Structure 1
Amino acid sequence: MNVTLSVDRQVVERARGVARSMGKSLNQLIRDYLEHLTAQSDPERDMQELARLSLESGGRSAGWRFDRDELHERA
């Protein structure tokens, strides 16, 4: 199905840049967004996505380790 939208030129150009940085066309970016927006919540799928994102992020602790005593120190 084709849909016609009215969007400010600057918004379209910025969105094209975002899509390009993601390796997608603007059409695909909008299609993905609409699918995400209208998808019913699926806790199993959401947890899988969270797990995938956490594995991809790698973390940036630079060697810092959580210390419970430091957490509760007052400044």
Structure 2
Amino acid sequence: MNSIRRPVTGQMAYDPASGRTGVVQAVHAADELLFDHQVTAHRVAFLRPERGGVEWTADATALRFPAQGDRSY
């Protein structure tokens, strides 16, 4: 069992694949989604920049809590 804590809906998260930090809007199983999310993971997270902007998708299992110096848009 994976005991690593990961950000959940409403929390800030760092997406290492994009190098961006944003607020988690939702997390879904990949097979529930009806569009090409281009994420190969089984769980897809939707993130949005803290001050608003364009939402993006990320591998939910790769998200981590932001550390000082992680970029934000």
TM-score calculated relative to the size of structure 1: 0.23
Q: Which has the higher contact order (CA 8 A, sep 6+)?
A: 2
Report the TM-score when normalising by structure 2. Answer: 0.23
* Bigger CA radius of gyration: 1
